[in-house]
Amino acid sequence: MARRLGGKCSLKIEDNISGDSVTMYYTLPTNKQRLAYQNASVERSGGRLINRTIEARQKYGLEILVGVRAGDLEVEQDGKWVPLVTDPNQPGYREDWKDIVLEQASDLVELLAAQVFDVSARVARDQGEDAEKN
């Protein structure tokens, strides 16, 4: 399958807390976002370098996050557990869903950012086969 340059992408995460999977929907970051993420990951202070990777992952992961599969996350409402609705076209939509996800499941946001910004690709093991085709 070809990489689609635009539109909505998805990342299925195996969640160790729930024992189930969580699918997060995101947009591919722009080059400007990639550069800003890398710049935000390290802060220079005097002669020291300060690791700000977690903060960068939270900020830019949240920036590209556009939704979570219905039913994958729940919030307590009036003493009951209800799905966190991230789709504005669905009943029960919460405008503050990103704030809730960041506050209660920042680990998922960080993993999304790490996957998309830090390790979105790797060198293929079968280099010889592809080189022969070209």
Please, which residues have CB within 8 angstroms of residue 100's CB and are 6 or more apart in sequence?
Answer: 75, 84, 94
Domain 8-118: state its class: alpha beta
Contact predicate 25/65, CB 8 Å: yes
pLDDT tens sequence for the chain (134 residues): 788 888 899 999 999 999 999 999 999 999 999 999 999 999 999 899 999 999 999 999 999 999 999 999 999 999 999 999 999 999 999 999 999 999 999 999 999 999 999 988 888 888 765 555 55
Please, which residues have CB within 8 angstroms of residue 22's CB and are 6 or more apart in sequence?
Answer: 12, 13, 15, 68, 69, 72, 73, 108
Give pTM, 2 decimals.
Answer: 0.87
Does an H or E element contain 129, and which?
helix 127-133
Q: Please report, for the chain, the start and end positions of each structural domain, with discontinuous segments joined by +.
A: 8-118
